[in-house]
Every structure is written in C-alpha cells, then in structure tokens.
Structure 1
C-alpha cells in the first residue's frame, strides 16, 4: 500500500568531513497514515539523531506532527525550537517481503544537506540507504568513496552488491563513464520504486562512452551472482536490519567472492561504523523502541573474516576522526597512494591518502 504524507523533522544528518551520520525515521500508524519526526538521543555519547513518534494526524492521508521533537541544528545553536513547518514529504511507504520502504523528499526549508533531495529508508531501523539529487551525483557521504574504486582495478565489469537505489553507481558512471556496472538488489519492488522516484532508470541507459548499470534482482550471495570471466571489482554495501549481514562475518563468504574476481581484481567494502541502529518493535519509541548497539564487534569480525580470505592483502580506512565513522576495506596490495590520489577528483584526493594496511 502506497501512502503520501508530510513530515515534521528536526535534524536529518550531521556532516563531518566525508562522514555522513544518517537520521533514523520512526513510524507510527494512526488510521491510514504515518507520521515522522526525529529526536536526538541525548543519552548517547555520539550525539546522533533518532526518531520520536508524533501522535496526531489529520484526515486525507496528510500527516502533521504536533511538534518537532528536536530542533534543526541552527535552532539548537540559538536555543530555539523549530515548529509547525512540514519539512519532508513522504512519497512512498510500502512493505515488502524484504523491507519497509520509505522515500522522503526534503522541502527547500529542510536542513541543507537534504533540502530538495530524496532519501530512501529501509527496514525497521529507518537507516538512510540512498540519496538522490537531480542536480548532482555527489552525496558528501561514504557513497562518494566508492567512486575512487575504478582507479585501482583493471578494466572490466564492476559488481555492486547491495545496489539500493543506485547512489554509488550514479557517481561512478559520472566520473568513469565507460565502466559497466552490475548492481544486485534482492528486493524487486525496491528496484521499481527507485526507478520511479530515485533516478535509477537513468543509470540503465548507456552513456556515450558505453558505460551502463545493469540491474539484477536477486541474492548477492548466490553462486549465480557473477559474470563470465569474472569481475574487475566488487563493491559490497550490504546491510539488513540496521547491521551487516552475518554472512560477511564468515571467511567462506569472502573466499566465494574472491573466486568471482579476474586477476588483479579487488573488493571494496562498507564495513559500517561503531553503532548499530535497530528497532525492538516495542510500543513506545521514547522508552526504548530504538536501540543503540555496539557495532564495533560486527565491523571487526567482518575485517577479520576478510583477512582470513585475503592474507596480507587487506587495507582499511576510517572515514573521519570520529568514533562512529564508517570503516571501508579494500582487498589487494596497498595501491600507490600518490598515484591513486592523482587519478581521482579533487574532493576525493585527501581521503585516498588515509588508506593503510590492515593489521
């Protein structure tokens, strides 16, 4: 069932360098509609934003919260609270076998990072899985880092495991327009909504240089998720229920993915950060429905599993100097960082220099 509503939100994200801290959007069913606001979890040392339910909606499928739970960043700085203005329109809310799909569109008065753009939220955690802006492929988040990947792999097709709405593919095709990408996404209805609302269909049209995104609806872990001859590179950006799937913590998974590479091929992975955001499905959001868990163990276990499959062939970097920042991993010998940095756009040069061997 599709629904349209307006959303009251406080702050949706915080930026620190290339680190993006997504907001979590909570849901409350009241009649035929749902309302969304954000709240800051004050007790959490990382200061990230979570959701708070609102309790009133009006008729006709239009959702309006009674108040904003926490102010936008500017209002917080000045001690004022933002009220009354719907900052987000909910374009899609639909449940599938695999996800709770929500697509929001930020109004021009929304926090600057989301003003005028659309975001995809999945599963009960409400994590942001894709961002779409009509005027630019840049996101200011970890998705941009995947666009450095083509500079250190051979020619050939690149797989994206966990395509979502194609956020990382969009920037890769803009910067590397001859690359052929194959995106794997298990939820066919998500692919349909991404084509309609998040610009995915435009990526499936070949560029003038021959690059294109081919979308495969299916399980990224299946043996069939490969191509004849193998991949030049594999991007892994898989999350379920707000955390890395358990398969990524098993060395056998990485051995299987390693077999899908051509000689010289690599894998780049989003290993998540220090926190896991989950929902325990209790009735009261403010009394514990949203839970924060230590994600470091899952991240570390993923890196350790990769190190078993790629002995002395694993590199990593933290996206920003903050405790909760995402960690990326890269297989193969550590590339010459100067050469790699010279091959990518200016806004990615500095981040490339922070890669180091995993020990």
Structure 2
C-alpha cells in the first residue's frame, strides 16, 4: 500500500576517533581527573556501516593537535633563541567539539558531543551520540533540521509502503530516525524500544528526544519503551504496521539477528500487510583488542561482511521470496538495508515520499 506523503567539559572531543582513558559511573565534571580525556587512534576509515554512521572526523582534530604541538615547540625554541618579546605565540584554536556528558551504564559507554558552529566538520553545530567501546556514532541531533544525510533518513520512506498503524523502532538510540519520521508523517504513531534507561534520560536532556514524546498537531507521537527490543513484550495489540530494526553492539548487528528464529518472532508481531525494514550493517567493523589498545589508541578492523550476509541469509529463510535489499549510496562500507514483503512499485513509492529519498528508493531490488 502506497501512501502520500548533564555535566559539561571543554575537552576537545571527536566521534569515533577518541577514547576515554577512564570511565566513570555518572557524568564527568570539569577540572582535574574528572575531565573526560580522549586518546587518538592511529588508523582512520570513512564508512557508514552500522547504526553508527562511522563518519570519522577525528583525524582532523588529531592533525590540529599535532599542528598546535609543533607550533608550540617551534615557538618555545624561538623564545629561547630570541627572547619572548620577539615572538608572537598564537593562541590555540578552539576545539571543534566539546563533551556534553559521559556515562558508563550497565549496557554502554555513553558520550554526547557537540560540534562547534564554525567547525568544517560534517557535524558542525550538531550533537552526536557515541556508544560502546567502538565509539560509533549512534544518533545525530541538529536543531535546524531533521535530515542527517545518512542511513537514518532512509527509514522515513518506510511509511509509504506499509498499512496504517503503529510503527516500531527497535534500537531507538537518541531518536534520530523518529525525528524525521514524525516531521514527514506527522500522524504516525511510533513505538521506540531502547534497552538503556540512562541513554534515554541523556537523549531527552541533550538530543531532543523529549520533544518527540509530545503529540504533533496531527496526533503523531513517539512512545519510548525501556527494555529488550527482541523480547515478546515489544509488541502491540493487532500487530505493528511496520518494524524498523536498527540493533547494533560493538559496531555490528546483534548476533540474534543472524538467527532465523528471531525474524520469525518479529514476523509474528506484524499485522497483515506489515513489513520490516532493517539496517544490516556493512563491510567494515571497528574494534579494540583490549583495554590497553583503547588507552594507546591502537584499533583493529574486522570484516563486517560476514555478519551482514548472515543477517540477510537469516531473513531470507524467514521471508522466502519476500526479501528486498539495497546498498546505500556513496557507502565505502557497503552498507545494506533490507525490506520484507513483495517488491513495491518503485516509481509509485518514489512519488509518495520526499524528494530527498527518491533516488535511493529506485535502488531497491529482490534479494537472491
């Protein structure tokens, strides 16, 4: 069916490229050992492979720090040779990011950063949520726009190919996908599932999640549920019209999503005509080998294609002849989305959604 359309620190921080040298239970405060410090990785990669978009920008901060260190060392040497009155030492550039809050919960290392308005980064002027030891970007919040230019936007095309009814988001994070969904489909009823209460509380305070919990003028709203998104209790009477699955840990899809039984259970929670749209991840998974690796900035890369392919294969067994897929545009990590059900009329689907989503819709094809 097609439808028409807490605490703050000033430490320079960067997503997916800086790691806390120590974690604390609770927000970090300014000053002394309570300031959240980050160590820089030695290897960088531009990708878009999980609920974290993996758009790495820490390298620019590393280079800035390196330049400042070099400039400071050269200036100090010049002072020794010529005297301080002959040398103008430039003030260090302001950090492109600041840490708004950092927590260690039962489930996650949670860090929320805010980009400086004048930063040349893709994240200038917005807030980003980093989770787990991989430090991947799991949510993006821009006050001025709900568009992210990343995979979250693609979920906003989903309501055009499902029946009327509530839509579940399994893996709500900071609410990035829900924000654009409610902007483009203001009568939509969303049921968001997130396992981490501390994450939800921080998203309400720093990422605008609380705004989505107030009904729109057309009656659309996000209801937040704290708990296991794959539990039997993550359901509604009559079934969901659609289920969005965006469940990741340590940079890759949850292991349960590689089991056909998981998809059969989710299938049973759909109403007639309902579909599931899934972020299956990509070809690159970023991991640390040990605590010492985190501290010295050494990171390894693993092939994420195996978990991505296993997820698609499990879905194909549970939805025989009823699975479609597409590769994200401009994704070096081979990021893939999946959609259950018959292949929609792509032209009609594209005509029913915002212009920004049309090109991606035409890339959907049956999974074989």
Q: TM-score, normalised by structure 1?
A: 0.84
Higher relative contact order (Cα pairs below 8 Å, separated by 6+ residues)? 2
Q: Deviations over 1:195-215 (max 9, x none)?
A: 111000110011111110000
Instruction: From 286, 309, 321, give the equivalent of 1:312.
Output: 321
Q: Give the Cα–Cα distance (whole angstroms) in 2 for the partners of residues 314 and 71 of structure 1.
A: 46
The residue aligned with 1:243 is 252
Residue 6 (structure 1) aligns with: 10
In 2, are the aligned partners of 1:51 and 1:285 still within 8 Å (CA)?
no
Change (3 A) 1:324 1:242: same
Match of 1:275 in 2: 284
Deviating 4+ runs (over 4 angstroms):
37-40, 44-48, 284-288
Shift of 1:180: 0.1
Residue 121 of structure 2 corresponds to residue 116 of structure 1:
no
Is residue 2:20 matched to residue 1:27?
yes
State the shift of 1:50 in Å.
7.8
Distance 1:152 1:321, change over 3 A: same
**Match of residue 206, structure 1, among 215, 218, 228:** 215
Counterpart in the other structure of 2:306: 297
Offset of 1:348 from its aligned partner?
0.8
Change over 3 Å in CA distance of 1:279–1:4 after alignment to 2: farther
Which residues of structure 2 form unaligned runs of 5+? 1-5, 23-31, 48-53, 66-91
Matches within 5 A, 1:67-216: 68-70=61-63, 84-216=93-225
Q: Secondary structure at the match of 1:26?
A: strand
Quote the offset at 1:9 in angstroms.
Answer: 5.4
The count of residues paired between Structure 1 and Structure 2 equals 323
Cα distance in 2 between the residues matched to 1:9 and 1:204: 29
Match of 2:366 in 1: 357
Choose between structure 1 and 2: higher helix proportion. 2
Deviation at 1:8, TM superposition (A): 3.0
Find the aligned partners of 1:249 and 1:137 in 2 and give their Cα distance: 31
Paired residues of 1:268 and 1:328 also in contact (CA < 8 A): yes
Alpha-carbon distance between aligned partners in 1 of 2:145 and 2:161, rounded to the nearest angstrom:
24
Larger Rg, first or second structure (1 or 2): 2
1:33 shift after superposition = 2.0
Corresponding residue SS for 2:200: helix
Measured at CA, do residues 183 and 48 of structure 1 come closer, stay the same or move farther in structure 2, by a change above 3 Å? closer
